[in-house]
Amino acid sequence: MPLPQGSTQPIDRVLSHLEGVRGSGEGYMAQCPHHSDRQASLSVKAADDGKVLLHCMAGCDTRSVVESAGLSWVDLFPPGSRERFKPRVWKGTITMNAQGRPALAAFGDDQVAALLGEIARLAKVRNTLDKPVATALKALAAAVGVSPERLTEAVRGALATEESA
């Protein structure tokens, strides 16, 4: 089961929020939304892993550029990327739970299912829910704001599904 591709790649989503976009080399130049930009000073590129790299030649802080574009930091990262495990990239974007972490619902069922599938496959390869699997579970639990125990149950469920598939 490959990770699902989001309906929109991060680069497409980012470009749709910018003005004056034109192709440039392997990426794009656009008007920087954070300063009064007549020259398209914002370099926009997709890295090999799909992550969007932004750089304002006039020196704007990237976080400010992202906010001024009406985007969130998490919009720069493709589904399933490591950064999406980090609660801080979600800050200010989505519903947070009482521990200040993203609520599970915010991730979307398919995304959580894909991550659980990845962990279940790791568990299957290792033939056990051992330490590396437990670490992956903890990371996912922290990111989605549920208990590792609940995720362990979900992984056992996912394993059972893979067995019967």
Q: Which residues bind Zn ion (CB under 5 A)?
A: 32, 34-35, 56, 58, 60
Q: Which is nearer to Zn ion, 32 or 137 (CB)?
A: 32
d(CA 58, CA 35): 8
CB 13 → Zn ion: shortest distance, Å? Answer: 19
Shortest gap between Cβ of 5 and Zn ion (angstroms)?
A: 30
Q: Which is nearer to Zn ion, 33 or 79 (CB)?
A: 33
Q: Which phi and psi (to 5°) does residue 29 adopt?
A: -120, 145
Give the dihedral sign, CA 21/66/141/122.
positive
User: Closest separation between CB of residue 36 and Zn ion, Å?
Assistant: 9
Give the bridge partners for 102, in sequence order: 96
- Cβ proximity of 135 and 160 under 8 Å: no
* Residue 20 in tokens: 């004056």
CB of 2 to Zn ion, least distance (A): 37
Give the dihedral sign, CA 9/15/16/22: negative
